[in-house]
Amino acid sequence: MASTNLSALLDPKLAPDKLKPVYLLHGQEAFLVELVASRLTELALDNAPRDFNLDRVQAGEAKIGLLIENARTVPMMAKRRIVRIDGVDRLKDHDLGPLKDYLAAPVDSCLLLLTAAGKRAAPALTRAVNKHGATAEFKPPRERELPGWIDKLAAQRGIVLDSEGRAFLARAIGSDLGKIAAELEKVALYAGERKQIKIEDLRALVADVRIDALYKLTDHLAAGQVEQALVLVDGMLGQGTHPLQIMPLLVRHYSQLLQGVQANARGDDLSDLAASIGVRPFLIRQFIGQVRSFDEPTLEQCLRRLYQTDQMLKSSRLAPGLIMERLMLKLGRAAGTGRGQRQ
């Protein structure tokens, strides 16, 4: 057997008797891993008693030998039992031996589900599964695929978004399907019987996770916590956000902070200023805290660094991730210098 794709696994025509004895579901898009695992579980059970025929454990919680014994146990009042092991990317070498032995000759009366949500499974495990089963690696959708996914997830919740709504959701959340699904669930509950969702509904209910991440990033940089800032940027890049999508947000935010510092020096009301320059109401307190963590020379230096980095991203052959790493180091260093001068 070999790797399979999402369409085949979610095909409504997929029948229980067509299931492979083993599936390995892994990859960065944890939402799809769980979606497909649930789908395969329901297909394999085929209305049989769940309590007697489903074992689900985290890798490392039980010995692999015991789980393999469970896989070989005759199902109760069912054609097939399911053994699901989550987090197989954490399996130790001594666990892989017994598991590979089973994968060489899996039993047809059990569906063995191996998952690594958010991670990539070891190539050796992938090869072992592919002998008699199937593997599927799920990556975040590309930007052009997002509108289609938003339509599917909205339809499952009985609501409809127009093109403006789809664009807003994609821009606010990015390619994290789990977060998109959660926000659509919230919107559907808010709308009640109404099916057509307006852009005003989304603006009122959907938090822009990139803006939230931006505030966390700036908090880390203001405190000189460069390592935490790097982890946050890596996460944003890993979710499919390109650095050139992050840069305008950073420039706008640091520009707002500079306006805040200048207003604070004049004795102006920072809450009024924040509202007038577009800071969202639930972020005003955090914005004011950040304004008081910076001084004007530091923010001017940070903005120069941002403009230089934007040009590098558009013209340099260096990897974008490396350019962003250097930017975080420079911003963290600038904030640290400014903090030292204020003290």
At 266-277, the pLDDT tens digits run: 999 998 888 888
Q: Has residue 45 got a pLDDT over 50?
A: yes
Average pLDDT value for residue range 256-285: 86
Contact in structure between 305 and 327 (CB atoms under 8 Å): yes
Q: Closest Cα to residue 235, out of 221, 218, 214?
A: 214
pLDDT > 70 in the chain, percent: 94
Report which of 334, 340, 342 is spatially closest to residue 221, judged by C-alpha positions: 334
The values of phi and psi at residue 196, to 5°, are -80, 120
Q: Please report the beta strands in the chain, taking only residues with DSSP state E, as ranges in sequence order.
A: 22-27, 54-58, 81-86, 110-117, 134-137, 160-161, 196-197
Banded model confidence at residue 239, pLDDT cuts 50, 70, 90: low
258 pLDDT more than 90? yes
Tell me which range, 1-5, 48-52, 237-241, is most confidently predicted by mean pLDDT. 48-52
- Check residue 340 and give its pLDDT: 46
pLDDT tens-digit map of 192-218: 889 999 988 887 777 666 677 777 888
Interval 93-110: pLDDT, tens: 888 888 999 999 999 999
What is the rounded average pLDDT of the residues 171-192? 87
Average pLDDT over every residue of 122-147: 90
pLDDT value at residue 161: 95
The answer, yes or no, to whether residue 173 has pLDDT greater than 70, is yes
Is a pLDDT exceeding 70 seen at residue 46?
Answer: yes
